[in-house]
Amino acid sequence: MKNPIADPAHHAISPKEAKEIVAAAGRWYHRFEIIPGVVTPGSYIPNFLLDKMELPNDLSGHRVLDLGASDGFFSLMMRHRGAQVVSVDCQSKHQRGFGAMERISGAGFDYRHVNIYDITPAAFGTFDIVLFFGVLYHLPEMLKALSIVRNICSDRMFIETQCAVEFSPGESAARYHREKTLNNDATNFWTPNPRCLRDMLHDAAFDIDRSETWGDRYFDACRISNELPRLGKMHLAYAVTGKD
């Protein structure tokens, strides 16, 4: 059976018009095929991370959160697999290629233009799968972000980030990047080494199923833990306690 989202016959937009929309959208980061024959001009090819997740082709009935959705590659791929997708980014969909992808694909998304620190279970609900790719090192408070993700994740979380490689393997450490000293980008704050990220994930109540490092990038496939001491540590860190 053809996926109607991937079937060009499903769309009123012709490939020629789709290519014009892609060009008009300006800067793209993700390079991917939105519909057959229409490829975005991004510098980053994210398909390999889709393979690393090892998710089933059918995600019907699953709720997926795409944190840092950017141009929408992962949101679209999860939608192709039948998932209910919520896409989040600190920029509006029209500041990135997401709006163009949405228009071309014909797939409407629940897109939230919010800061990760403002995400709550009350406003978002919970998700079977959370994708947390290329975001952590852009955040000034890494552990707080991981705690927020844990609060809205009901099963699995996949994280990929730039990591520090200059520390010894047995040392749990992170490098802070002043001003634009990392990639000439003022939105970069911290690069944890793999041991540091594993330690933070542990205390944020995630168990790691699989890990992989290549160059200065690190990937974890995680599942939530319900161990009370670990949940309690994050409660002590971020909950309001005591009385006035």
Residue 26: band (very low, low, confident or very high) from pLDDT cuts 50, 70, 90: confident
Residue 10: predicted pLDDT: 52
Residue 81: predicted pLDDT: 97
DSSP single-letter state for residue 7: -
pLDDT one-digit tens code per residue, 69-121:
999 999 999 999 999 999 999 999 999 999 999 999 999 999 999 999 999 99
Q: What is the mean pLDDT of the chain?
A: 92
Residue 23: predicted pLDDT: 95
Residue 53: predicted pLDDT: 97
Residue 62: predicted pLDDT: 98
pLDDT one-digit tens code per residue, 139-161:
999 999 999 999 999 999 999 99
Least confident segment among 12-16, 93-97, 122-126, 149-153: 12-16
The token pair at 98 is: 């997401």
User: Are 131 and 49 contacting, i.e. CB atoms less than 8 angstroms apart?
Assistant: no
Residue 3: band (very low, low, confident or very high) from pLDDT cuts 50, 70, 90: very low
The token pair at 221 is: 């496939």
Share of the chain above pLDDT 70, in %: 93
Domains of the chain, each with CATH number or no CATH: 48-238 (3.40.50.150)
- Whole-structure pTM value: 0.92
Reply yes or no on whether the pLDDT at 241 is more than 70.
Answer: no
Residue 5: predicted pLDDT: 47
